Amino acid sequence: MSAELLYALNELEKDKGIDKEIIIKAIEDALNTSISRASEPGMPKGRNTRVEFNRETGEIRCYERKVVVDEVTDPATELSLEEARKMDPEFEVDDVAEFEITTRNFGRLAAQKAKQIIIQKIREEERNQLYELYKTKEKDIISGTVQRIERNNRGEKTIYVELGKIEAKLLQSEQVDGENYHMHERIKAYVLEVKKTNKDPVILISRTHPGLVKRLFELEVPEIQEGIVEIKNIAREPGSRTKISVYSHDENVEPIGACVGQKGTRVQVICDELKGERIDIIKWSATPDELIANSLSPAKVIKVFADESEKTATVIVPDNQLSLAIGKEGQNVRLAAKLTGWKIDIKSESQIRATIEEELFAGSPSDDEYIDYSSDDEGAQVITLSGDDGNDEMSGEETDMQ
């Protein structure tokens, strides 16, 4: 058994990367515990034993230690001076005598313990290797196959995705409304968290996290991989629409074009993976007015009045762009606010004009009060409101509205 055991340990170390020394130490500890607790006829429990595994031959030996005393009061841990000197005449009181023992059935016990320890350590090491492997994939994308679909007593659906040697869990809260998952379907998902347990690691994945969109762009757009184009922020309503702001560190590289790709090929791949989710790519700017205006794309903006202290902004848009700027059920402005971190209030030209006229007729503007909104964009209207010697004056210059 000795040579066979040593061979098996060497093979495990070579094939599975399990440190042979860890298993040997575990076998020694397990055997030592078993022998010290066990008792044979006439032998006390609680003996002080030591098990030694020969790393060269695979042979296992067991030793017992006892303190040399004049009179034995604890046979489990003490040895009389008379008995000690039968082994070695040099022994004195308080010396520790160590001698090899051969317990009954020691060979069978050693074989059983070795087998149990090896199986246990193989499982532990495989779990550890799986954990270490997938822990590095947190905040990354993995691909797997739908293995099974289960519902709990509340009707919540959990999708189990096979990754090879382990499954990942796609909880109901991380599933996109309207997405249907079918058995054996291959899907991509974002790794939220990898948890270590006494059994296999638990891998939680998501189809709703903004990180999924971010990683898809990083994988699809070389300029992002190379650090030329940077994703600044993402606002997402999963399954419906996403806004992403991008910035180029190279003035010769247009960030939106890089993300869209020739004839839209790059962004189309991402939309397809997201089951048709709409993606708005906007140019990031350090200037709040410009960033907010861009964030409302595809709507055209005339003017942005931003209050940086309150992080609120009033945005003026052409009448025919109001619905587009707000979006269906407020989605466009809601995503823009989330993307920029600003509270955004959208007004049409007509609404602003009506407000100004109301204030004029009410005589609300005071002396020296001045309101100006203008834009170089085609279709812009310039309105100037000023106070001069108590008389209000309004002049308007219009260009053709497209």
Cis status of the peptide bond prior to 222, with omega within 30 of 0: no
Comma-separated ranges of CATH 3.30.300.20 domains in the chain: 296-402
Residues 193 and 203: their CA atoms lie apart, in Å, by 6
Comma-separated ranges of CATH 3.30.1480.10 domains in the chain: 2-133
Q: How confident is the model at residue 380 (pLDDT cuts 50, 70, 90)?
A: very low
Comma-separated ranges of CATH 2.40.50.140 domains in the chain: 137-208
Q: Write out pLDDT tens, residues 36-57.
A: 765 554 455 667 888 888 888 8
Tokens standing for 157? Answer: 């659906």
CATH number of 137-208: 2.40.50.140
Q: Are 181 and 202 in contact (CB under 8 A)?
A: no
pTM of the predicted model as reported, rounded to 2 decimal places: 0.71
Residue position matching structure tokens 């991509």: 188
DSSP assignment string, 202-230 = EEEEESS-HHHHHHHHHHH-HHHHTTSEE
What CATH class has 296-402? alpha beta
In three-state secondary structure terms, 183 is: coil
Q: Are 312 and 343 in contact (CB under 8 A)?
A: yes
Name which of 82, 40, 80, 92 is nearest 62 in CA terms.
Answer: 40
In three-state secondary structure terms, 298 is: coil
Neighbours of 47 (CB within 10 A): 19
Tokens standing for 95? Answer: 């010396």
Residues 64 and 35: their CA atoms lie apart, in Å, by 10
Does 65 score more than 50 pLDDT?
Answer: yes
Q: What is the average pLDDT across 103-111? A: 70
Does 378 score more than 70 pLDDT?
Answer: no
Q: Write out pLDDT tens, residues 133-160.
A: 999 999 999 999 999 999 998 889 999 9
Q: Which CATH code, of 3.20.20.150, 3.40.50.300, 3.40.50.2300, 3.30.1480.10, is assigned to 2-133?
A: 3.30.1480.10
pLDDT given at position 45 = 62
Q: Are 159 and 182 in contact (CB under 8 A)?
A: no
Residues 258 and 109: their CA atoms lie apart, in Å, by 68
Q: Write out pLDDT tens, residues 222-269.
A: 999 999 999 999 999 999 999 999 999 999 999 999 999 999 999 999
Q: What is the CA radius of gyration of the chain?
A: 38
pLDDT given at position 386 = 36
Q: Are 159 and 181 in contact (CB under 8 A)?
A: yes
Antiparallel, parallel or unpaired: β 157-162 and 141-151: antiparallel
**Backbone φ, ψ for residue 229 (5° rounding):** -105, 135
CA atoms within 13 A of residue 204's CA, in its CB half-sphere: 11
Q: What is the average pLDDT across 65-85? A: 90
Neighbours of 186 (CB within 10 A): 10
Q: Write out pLDDT tens, residues 191-226.
A: 999 999 988 999 999 999 999 999 999 999 999 999
Residue 399: C-alpha distances to residues 230, 298, 309, 349, 383 (Å): 38, 22, 34, 13, 12
Residues 82 and 68: their CA atoms lie apart, in Å, by 9
Residues 191 and 80: their CA atoms lie apart, in Å, by 65
Q: What is the average pLDDT across 342-355? A: 94
Q: What is the DSSP letter of 253?
A: S
pLDDT given at position 388 = 43
Contacts of 321 (CB under 8 A, 6+ apart): 299, 300, 301, 348
Alpha helices (runs of H) in 261-319, residue ranges in sequence order: 265-273, 288-295
